[in-house]
Structure 1
Amino acid sequence: MKLSTKQKQHLKGLAHHLKPVVLLGANGLTEAVLAEIEIALDHHELIKVKVASEDRETKGLIIDAIIRETEAEKVQTIGKVLVIYRPSEERKIELPRK
């Protein structure tokens, strides 16, 4: 699923008030962290993940891995916070048409 600019803008607005539900610590991206992200996506569809990496390149690799492994869409990255979206079976969030 590829999000249009209009859909991303809508999701950014919805994500604005959200707090990060998953925090990556010193251990980085582990299987347990990926499992937590999967659970959060299934439950909320739109989540924030805080990637606590000082190195910009490492942070980018972690973000790419999260998106690849969860098959979610990247909405935006602000500093150390990643906003991702993946529709669930129930489709809780109604997206505008493309």
Structure 2
Amino acid sequence: MLTGKQTRYLRSLAHHLDPIFQVGKGGVNNHLIRHIEEALEVRELIKVTVLNNSGEDRKEVGTQLAEKSKAELVQVIGKIIVLYKESRDQKKIQLPN
């Protein structure tokens, strides 16, 4: 579980990132989860866009993605979801205490 200070720090890092995944009509599926897990292992912090044709609630999609990929939901703002998961092998982000 992230503290408020850690969440703010991660949000500041994510500000300059571009979304690398999109959730569309297909919604959250195993294929998407597997790719998100792989990206989190390499990058630790990613953005995901929820498209307008998704039809699902954005906060609910963010919660599902975080639970299924075992990541932390940093932020859901508008149609953008920010996820964080500490890498086992390629740790790049040092969280504040």
Structure 1 length normalisation: TM-score?
A: 0.87
- Counterparts of 1:16-95 in structure 2, within 5 Å, are 16-53=15-52, 58-89=57-88, 90-95=90-95
Q: Kindly provide the CA deviation profile for residues 42-78 of structure 1, in whole angstroms up to 9, marking residues without a partner as x.
A: 1100000111246886333322211111111111111
Contact 1:53 1:59 in 2 (8 A): no
Identity %: 39
In structure 2, distance between residues paired with 1:56 and 1:4: 31
Contact 1:41 1:47 in 2 (8 A): yes
Q: Cα distance 1:41–1:26, how it changes in 2: closer, same or farther (>3 A)?
A: same
Contact 1:21 1:49 in 2 (8 A): yes
In structure 2, distance between residues paired with 1:8 and 1:25: 26
- Listed as ranges, the gaps of 5+ residues in structure 1 are none
- Listed as ranges, the gaps of 5+ residues in structure 2 are none
In structure 1, distance between residues paired with 2:10 and 2:41: 16
Structure 2 length normalisation: TM-score?
A: 0.88
SS in 2 for 1:82: strand
Q: Cα distance 1:42–1:25, how it changes in 2: closer, same or farther (>3 A)?
A: same
